[in-house]
Amino acid sequence: MALGGNALIRKGEEGTIEQQFRNLAVPIRQIARLSREYKMIITHGNGPQVGALLLQQESCPLVPKLPLEILVAQTQGWIGYMIESTLDSQLMDLGIEFTPIVSLISYVVVDEKDPSFLNPSKPIGPAYRKKKDAPSGYPVMKTAKGYRRAVVSPKPITIVEKREIKKLIDQDFIVICCGGGGIPVIREGRTFFGVDAVIDKDLASAKLAEEIGVDIFLIATDVPGAAIYHASAKEKFLRKMSVMQARRYMAKGHFPPGSMGPKIEACLQYITSGGKRAVITSIEAIERAVAGTAGTEIAGMIDR
């Protein structure tokens, strides 16, 4: 299950820590209930948070600046802690004790020749009404939410800790991992080097889903699912979609980069690699999406 950064900070909110904990309880309560039936891997985004950390450090000239790779690691600790502690109390509320939970600092390998290094495509941090309102230092891109800073976002190749994650799942741990798409690293022989980028969490989660071989790949975000003609009068919600249809709508530009685009791409990647069920749903409707009554479902095996 991949949780959007919006599971913590809702549109229009200031994003205080109280608001973040309150928002997080909505998906986590459902995850706690589902854990009675399912083994669970939770991944999460960090777009709003990693952008906030960047702004924080830019506002302080007294300490050296940290590269994005370190900020991503920070968000894994920050959000991992928030998810873990919220899940712990929700499990307690349900009277489920002794469920082992672990959040894992995760590396994700990227290719140093990835063309995305030349083209910042991942929006991070707050959204601004006007382009000129965005602070300088990074390119700015237009998104459905407004103008946002953009950073480079290479494609995930493999999750370094996949074997460890599999072992933890086999031992009934709930695993929180690949936060913020994972810490991007380039492999040189047996060593890894961090790179200044933010991997898309939807694509990293799909890679993990594929490498672990999960039964359901679910992406929870702040809309009920994917639509065509999004944010227009012609908007039409898509309840079920074949791989062919998804590709066709993608080619027509219905799913923009940096938001719905990577979610659809992630589902397609998981399904075409042999995955069974991929669903994009809202944070409120996770349980209904698992039950098959909400969200946009990308059907597997129909027309590969």
Of 259, 250, 139, 288, give the one whose Cα is nearest residue 201. Answer: 259
- Is residue 12 among the annotated active site residues? no
Interface region with ligand ADP, contact rule CB under 6 A, candidates 31-39, 80-88, 164-172, 217-225: 217-225
126 binds ligand ADP (CB under 6 A): no
Alpha-carbon distance of 283 to 287, in angstroms, equals: 9
Between 6 and 86, whose beta carbon lies closer to ligand ADP? Answer: 6
Kind and range of the H or E run holding 266? helix 260-272
Alpha-carbon distance of 120 to 153, in angstroms, equals: 7
Interface with ligand ADP (CB under 6 A), residue from 22, 230, 247, 276: 230
* Residue 157 Cβ vs ligand ADP, minimum distance, rounded to whole Å: 21
The residues in 83-122 that bind ligand ADP, with binding defined as CB under 6 A, are none
Pattern 141-180, ligand ADP, x by CB under 6 A: ---x------------------------------------
43 binds ligand ADP (CB under 6 A): no
226 binds ligand ADP (CB under 6 A): yes
Interface with ligand ADP (CB under 6 A), residue from 50, 104, 227, 279: 227
Asked if 83 and 104 count as a contact pair (C-beta separation under 8 A), the reply is no
Kind and range of the H or E run holding 192? strand 191-194
Can you read off the two tokens belonging to residue 272?
Answer: 């075409």
The residues, ordered by sequence, that sit 6+ positions from 188 with a Cβ below 8 Å of its Cβ are: none
Q: At what angle do helices 260-272 and 201-212 cross, to 10 degrees?
A: 10
Helices first, then strands: H and E counts in the chain:
8, 17
Query: What single DSSP character describes residue 67?
Result: P
Interface region with ligand ADP, contact rule CB under 6 A, candidates 22-30, 56-64, 165-173, 249-257: 249-257
* Residue 205 Cβ vs ligand ADP, minimum distance, rounded to whole Å: 10
257 binds ligand ADP (CB under 6 A): no
Interface with ligand ADP (CB under 6 A), residue from 5, 27, 156, 181: 5
Asked if 31 and 91 count as a contact pair (C-beta separation under 8 A), the reply is no
Main-chain phi, psi angles of 243, to 5 degrees? -60, -45
Interface with ligand ADP (CB under 6 A), residue from 106, 259, 269, 281: 259
Tell me the residue type at 140.
Answer: V
Residue ranges binding ligand ADP (CB under 6 A): 4-6, 45, 47, 144, 221-223, 226-227, 230, 254-256, 259-260
Catalytic residues: 5-6, 122, 201, 263
